Each structure stands twice: as structure tokens, then as C-alpha cells.
Amino acid sequence: MFFSRRSDLGEVHPQGGIEQRATASISSSVDSLLKSDEAQRDSQYATSRRIQVLSWILHVSLVVLHLLLIAIWATGLEHRFTVPLAHQKLASFLITSSTTAFGTIYSALLVFVTQTLFIRRSLRMEQMLTTTHDNAAAWAGIGAAILHLWHQRTVGPARTSSFLGLSSIALYLTAILGFHITISSVFSLVTFSATQHSVASTLSLPTYDGDFGAGSFGPVFDNGTLDFGKYVQMQTYAVGSMYSLPSNMNSTTRPGLSQGSLYDVLESPITGTAAVDATGFDVTCKYLPGVNFTHFNDTQTWAYGGFFITPTQPRLITQVQNWVDDNTVAFYSTIPILDSDGETGPMVPLDPPMNNSVSSVQVFTCSLSLVDQTASIDAQSQQLRSLTPDFAKSASTWSPQPNASTPTNSSNPFINMWALWVKAIPASSFPLDLTENIDLFNLGNAMMASLADIYLYQALILPSGNASSIRLHDLENALSNVVASVFWTIGHNPMTAASMYSPFDNDLDALSQTFQPPILLQGSAQVTEVYQAERLELNIVAVSLGLATSVLLLTLTLPALLSRHLNSDSDGGHKAIGGTGLLHAIWLYRNHPELEKLLDQVDNPTDENLRAAGMVRTRLVDGKGNQWDADL
């Protein structure tokens, strides 16, 4: 009994433990499967939410991107990106390829996320099976979308809802194509004139650097006082270098010379525009009061106070002889000079008359003042573009010359000696007085008109024909041109060899000695170089169309973005179905056996027959509460 009992116990107890363990194992497996399925569904829900969030980010970012481009265009910030003209082809290729690549990748992302959301939403909506098929197939491209839109003429009762869905897809794909076109046209390179600023060395007014001649002559100026011996040599150099003065006084193309002004020129021409310093030589003339000439028959001169005049032809203006004031130059005129008030000033009588025809002359002195100017020049050709301020006179009145003349206030002693250089203007081969008995083959004893006299006659008398008078301000402007031309000529033209080795005037002791020419003062100028370059340009038309397209894309995606059903947990765990490929179709058919009862057998599977057979209402992914989605 005991054994038997133990035997019974041994048989009963183990059997009960096995059943309990099996039951526990099954329960544990079921719980694990349920938890795994729940975790899988949660992961699938999270995937849909992530796609929705990604779609929001992509579409909103596209709108914001175009708004930023409009802001950049309004402020012109894109113009800061410049490219040298030599790299234009490479830069244009990089810009076009970059924007095209960006548009292609971005368009692919937009279509991917939107297609996924729309197909998932369509599978979860209760609608005609043909409508679900059309909505899925339309994403193959614009052509497919248009084709399925055309097929809507045969869908019967589901025409409205199916047409709206397909229209949205076709419009979305068309907008994607428009975005791809506009984004590649947003940026372009345009040619513009760029500027670059630099500092360049300039050559300015002429001067002497302190040593003159072959080194043994010593300084020209000693504490500002002129060494007279060196002055004679400088005057000799001036006379010998002014052979081109007539052409310079009438020229408008001499670099550094413009009428009565001298402007700095660049030491080495470069491309661009330079802002340089300039000096205007403003000449002012005043009549000399109290002049009373005495005639000398033996010399045919009229003298007063140490200076004298000689006979001249009528209507000629020339310098008086032996004028000793180094701050002014004295002239006499045989033609009346009227001021702006129509006055001539005092007329000095001549007894006897000059050439039996001129009974009185005007005697006047002219002084010089400097005008600081600024010039804009072409840095390559050195030609003048603009000059300010303009000191050319349009009116002037006669006034008496004060007892003490005012020296020219310049830090350059060579400029202050302007009167000496004007007096050194060489003579022409034109006699002052043609009424004299002049041997045309021996003009050595005749008084010749200077080059300045000829210029004044050509500038003031000839343009008016037989003028009976001239204007004072015209004379002063002409003398300004003479002074500026004198300084330009001395500073730029070397003296002739004939003048240098003349046995009478050169004051040199040996052929090894030479005259040292003046030098040009050095300065600096701001040069603005203008060159052709490429800069980035925003196409506002493309940006505006792109903005409209991006807003349209966002609007068309809203039904899928706002769909609550994509994140619902009441769909039977079929969230993973997000496509309509062959494998997806097989899976859906196997998990929906009711379709075999709903769908009629189609012997001839044409598109029309299949579409007609698919006119059954169903929901391929189970779930409830889809009316809100259907309304969207």
C-alpha cells in the first residue's frame, strides 16, 4: 500500500507540474507576441508620424527658403558674390549644376514623402477599389496622372471624389516640375563694372631740387634767395626748352595740362580713374596809374619810370621792356580792352602817335594767384575727365595797380618766379612793327613779337575778325593759359642742343658741363580701377514663381499632413502597408478574402473591364472612424 501510494503520488504529482509549466509557457509566449505586436504597431505609428513631420519640414522650409531669397533680392546681398571674368564659365557651370542638383534631390524627397502619405491615406479610406487604384497609379508621373484623369469619364458614381484626388496628384506633380525649373533659374551671373581702390605715385609741378648744372654750380636758392648766376642759367634753359610752347598753348591733349591748370599725372599709367591734385594759374590784370610817356626820337621808344615801349602793329598786346617787378608782368595794348562795365581804364597818350595811327595805349600789369583744384583723370591715357573748381572768368573790372605788388604765395620758389619765366618766352620770327624799314634778310636788329604775343593775337583778335576791342576777362583767361603752358613746357621738354651749346648764352665752361633740367614734384593719388567682373544675380521672376509653387505644394499636401487616421491605432495592425506594388497587392488580396466575393471574374483583363470590376466599395487596410479622412 505504502509503495503503491508512493507510486501513485509519483505518478500524479509530476503530471500536474508539467501541465502548469506548459500553461505558463504558453501564456508567456502569448504575452511576448502581444507585446511584440504592440511594439511593432507603435514603431509603425512612429514611422508615419515621422514622415508627416518630415513632410511638414520639407514643405514649410521650401516656402521659407523662397521668402529668404526675396529678402536677399530686396537688399541686394547676392551682389557681394563676385567672380573674375576669367572664371565666368566655371562659376556659371557650378551655379547651374548646384541649383539643378539641389532641385532634383529636393523634388525627389518631396515626391517620396508625399506619395507615401497619400498612398497610406488612400489605403485606409473606404472608397471604390478603382479610385484607390487610380490614386496609387497616378503617382507614376504627370502622364499617368493625366491618363487616369481622362479615365474618370467612365467611373460613374465615384467620379467626383476620384477626380478631385487625381487632380490634386496631377497638380502636385506639375508643381514639382515647375519647382525643378524655377530653382535652376534662380541664380545667374551678370557682367558689371567692379571697382578696386589703390594708391599710385604721381608727378606734379616742376621745381629745382637745389642743385643746378654739373654739380659745381651749387644751390639755386640759398635760404629762399635766388642766386642770380644760377637764375641766368635757368633762364637760358627755359628759353631753350620752350620751342614747343605754341603747340602746347593750343593743345587740349597734353597730359597734365588743361587750359590754365596743371594737374598731376601718374608716374606709371594703370587702368582706372585717378583723383589727383591740380593747380590753377589765375591771372588778374590792373591798370598802371599815372603813366606819362616821353618819346625818344633816336630809339623810337616811349619811356616812363625806367621801362619803355616800342612801336607795334595795331591791335597787338605785348610786354613792356625793362620791367623790374618780379611779381608782375607789364603789358601795353594798342587795342582797347573793355571790362564788364564797358570801361577801358586810363588811356596813356602817345606824342607823337605810334605809326601815325595809334595815339594812345593801355598800360597794365598782371599778377598771379594759385587755385587749388581737384582733377579726375583717366589713369591709362592721363587725359582729363573733370576739374573742379572752375576758375575761368566770365566777368572782370578794371582797378588800379597798388604801389606794392603781391607775390605769388607758393611753397615752390620755382612757381613764385612765374614772371621771370613769362619774360623768358622766346621771340618769334614775326616783327612787332612792319612799318619800319626792315631788312628781311637781316632781322637781328628788329624787335620781334614773342610767342605769347602771337598766341594772344590768335586767341583774342582773329576769332572776332576785325575786332575793335577785346574783353578784360578774355585776356586774363588767355594769360592763364600762357602761364600754365610755360610751366608744363619747361617741366616736360628738354632744351635744344643748339641752346645748350650756344657760344654766347650757355654760360658753360666745358662741353662736359650740362644744364640740369627741372624735376617734377612727386605725390600720390587715389586710383579707382574699373574692371569687368561677374556677380551673382537673383531672378526675381523665378523666385516669385518658386514661392507660388512652394505654397501650392504645401496646400496640396495638407490633407495628408492633417490626417488623423494615419496615426490611429484602430486599423488592425496594418500600418506597415504603405505601397501598392505587386507584393503589397498579393498581401492585401490574401488578407481580404471578401474581395473574391466582391470582385467579378474578368475574362478579358483590359483597363476598362478591370476598372469596371473594381467599382466596389472597400477599405483595404482595416480601421474605423475614416469619415473625417474621406471628407478631407
Say if 471 falls within a structural domain: yes
Same domain, 601 and 517: no
Query: pLDDT tens across 544-600, in order?
Result: 999 999 999 999 988 888 876 555 544 444 455 666 666 666 666 666 666 666 666
**C-alpha count within 13 angstroms, C-beta hemisphere, residue 497:** 1
Q: Is the pLDDT of residue 17 over 70?
A: no
Say if 155 falls within a structural domain: no
Cα distance between residue 371 and residue 458, in whole Å: 26
Q: Is the pLDDT of residue 120 over 60?
A: yes
Helices (H), 205-315: 228-241, 245-249
Number of domains in the chain: 2
Phi, psi dihedrals of residue 327, rounded to the nearest 5°: -95, -10
Full residue range of the structural domain in which residue 118 is found: 2-136+174-186+539-631
Same domain, 514 and 571: no
Three-class secondary structure of residue 249 per DSSP: helix
Cα distance between residue 311 and residue 431, in whole Å: 10
Q: Minimum mean pLDDT among 57-61, 388-392, 441-445: which range?
A: 441-445
pLDDT band of residue 3 (cuts 50, 70, 90) is very low
Helices (H), 204-313: 228-241, 245-249
Say if 148 falls within a structural domain: no
Say if 166 falls within a structural domain: no
Same domain, 493 and 548: no
The amino acid sitting at 178 is G
Q: Which of 477, 510, 530 is the last residue of a domain?
A: 530
Same domain, 481 and 561: no
Same domain, 458 and 523: yes
Q: Is the pLDDT of residue 159 over 70?
A: no
Same domain, 499 and 573: no
Cα distance between residue 477 and residue 394, in whole Å: 9
Query: pLDDT tens across 40-51, in order?
Result: 444 444 477 788
Say if 204 falls within a structural domain: yes
Dihedral sign (CA 226, 232, 235, 241):
negative
What pLDDT does residue 499 have?
61
Closest by CA position to 490, among listed 516, 515, 518, 514: 518
Say if 154 falls within a structural domain: no
Say if 526 falls within a structural domain: yes
Same domain, 121 and 212: no
Same domain, 513 and 596: no
Percent over 70 (pLDDT), the chain: 70
Say if 48 falls within a structural domain: yes
Contact 537, 200 (CB under 8 A): no
Considering only residues 510 and 564, tell me which one the structure prediction assigns the higher pLDDT. Answer: 564
Task: Report the DSSP beta bridge partners of residue 296.
Answer: 301
What pLDDT does residue 420 have?
87
Same domain, 570 and 504: no
Same domain, 255 and 234: yes
Q: Which of 530, 552, 569 is the last residue of a domain?
A: 530
pLDDT band of residue 606 (cuts 50, 70, 90) is low
Q: Which of 530, 556, 575 is the last residue of a domain?
A: 530
Same domain, 363 and 342: yes
- Packing angle, helices 142-150 and 159-183, rounded to 10: 160
Query: pLDDT tens across 338-397, in order?
Result: 999 999 989 999 988 887 778 899 999 999 999 999 999 999 999 999 999 999 999 999
What pLDDT does residue 220 have?
53
Same domain, 568 and 497: no
